[in-house]
Homo-oligomer: A and B are copies of this chain.
């Protein structure tokens, strides 16, 4: 049995929904369908979710919301008309959209989440109706009924583990179940949304709950590329990735799937496939626990900007028990998360995301390093990018590091720092951001051409 998630661009129009129908019909194992809100039909279009945000803002500032309501309802109506849907579903959707503007504004910390979730929720109703009119015995199911219980953290809901047991019971149902993605329901019955990439999370949770054989994530690309197509022309698409590889790639710039979304599927040992709604015969990229056969050593190259390094040195640093811990304690006390910590003998670099470092925090870190830990030197280095060469099979191939470092040096790219841990799923280079694109090209040419 398969859990299938469709992204917003796959659900943006009647034409797209016809593809979705065919995909679901073509495989009887596709029993759970997780849907996003309708996405953009073209580059100038507005996403339903963005329209809901506007509607919410007007509503809480007590402005006229009639136009907002009309636009949103019409968006669903257009699709319903094109698909010749029974009018009863549009009556339900219309009522749901209008009723948002009757919810209490004050002391309602879930209001924003409730507005947002309406995009997915109404789309699920529409799609279930469409399926039923076209030969699929489908059942729309609200997350409350499905049993997706979450914590009361608006915009950042966490699944409550008992949900998995309730979800498991759904496997007995005969219908194809259509569940809106992106949100769950709190103990008090409030709508509460997941963080970004939320429909992916719902799919991942449902897949783990019903113990699916496969979680199919339909998007608008033929899977995951070995390097960013904005930098490399027609990069190879990856046939198979492990969860660990996916996570390493996602860390540095690969945003096809939000990495948090992977956790339930990963923990539930559910393999995942990323496929293209517009090209469903393409095998896509499978994400698995362990590679099925011998792979090449490097599966992908990713890079991300926006890193800063705190570089410090102190003579005989490594003789001082607790030195590293004290440095990290300073960061933790300032609520700063660090990414990496390459060390020399008397020096240490702490790599963090730019956004972690406000000017006040920066000053405080330098002050504490100098006065509390008495470093000989401390400085901040900005405009760094992290470059990752990823592949689980690296460990069985001597020379991947040499090949990567040579490719960089031959292209005059200076390696600022390197960190390669024992896992050897990746080698991490820190480079200057202005050399990033050249670095990706150099590595892609070395490993994939």
| Interface positions of A (Cβ within 8 A of B) | 244, 247-248, 251, 259-260, 263, 266-267, 309, 311, 313, 315-316, 318-322, 324-325, 328-329, 331-332, 335-349, 381, 388, 398-399, 401-403, 405-406, 408-410, 412-428
Q: Residue of B at shortest CB range from A344?
A: B421
Residues of B within 8 A of A348 (CB): 421
When chains A and B are docked, how far (Å) is the Cα of A260 from the Cα of B346?
Answer: 13
Contact B419 A346 (CB under 8 A): no
Total identical chains: 2
Residues of B within 8 A of A341 (CB): 324, 341, 343
Residues of B within 8 A of A309 (CB): 422
Q: Residue of B at shortest CB range from A318?
A: B339
Contact A248 B345 (CB under 8 A): yes
* A365 shortest CB reach to chain B, Å: 14
Contact A316 B402 (CB under 8 A): no
Tell which of B263, B332, B381, B423 touches A344, judged by Cβ atoms closer than 8 Å.
B423
Contact B247 A345 (CB under 8 A): yes
When chains A and B are docked, how far (Å) is the Cα of A371 from the Cα of B22?
Answer: 48
Q: Residue of B at shortest CB range from A425?
A: B344
Tell which of B339, B344, B406 touches A428, judged by Cβ atoms closer than 8 Å.
B344
Residues of B within 8 A of A421 (CB): 311, 342-344, 347-349, 417
* A197 shortest CB reach to chain B, Å: 14
* A319 shortest CB reach to chain B, Å: 7
Tell which of B260, B406, B426 touches A316, judged by Cβ atoms closer than 8 Å.
B260
Contact B422 A420 (CB under 8 A): no
Contact A332 B321 (CB under 8 A): yes
Contact B347 A425 (CB under 8 A): yes
Residues of B within 8 A of A428 (CB): 343-344
Residues of B within 8 A of A247 (CB): 315-316, 345-346
Tell which of B315, B417, B420 touches A263, judged by Cβ atoms closer than 8 Å.
B315
Contact A409 B402 (CB under 8 A): yes
Q: Residue of B at shortest CB range from A430?
A: B422
Beyond contacts A342-B419, A344-B419, A398-B415: 13 other A-B pairs, Cβ-Cβ < 8 A, are: A247-B316, A248-B346, A267-B315, A311-B423, A313-B423, A318-B339, A342-B421, A344-B425, A348-B421, A349-B422, A398-B409, A398-B412, A398-B414
When chains A and B are docked, how far (Å) is the Cα of A338 from the Cα of B425?
Answer: 23
When chains A and B are docked, how far (Å) is the Cα of A321 from the Cα of B426?
Answer: 22
Residues of B within 8 A of A345 (CB): 247-248, 251, 388, 425-426
Residues of B within 8 A of A313 (CB): 423
Contact B422 A401 (CB under 8 A): no
When chains A and B are docked, how far (Å) is the Cα of A260 from the Cα of B318?
Answer: 12
Q: Residue of B at shortest CB range from A418?
A: B420
Q: Residue of B at shortest CB range from A324?
A: B328
Contact A251 B318 (CB under 8 A): yes
Contact B409 A417 (CB under 8 A): no
11 contacts between A and B (CB under 8 A): A247-B345, A321-B337, A322-B328, A324-B338, A328-B328, A339-B343, A341-B341, A342-B421, A399-B405, A401-B415, A418-B419
When chains A and B are docked, how far (Å) is the Cα of A342 from the Cα of B427?
Answer: 10
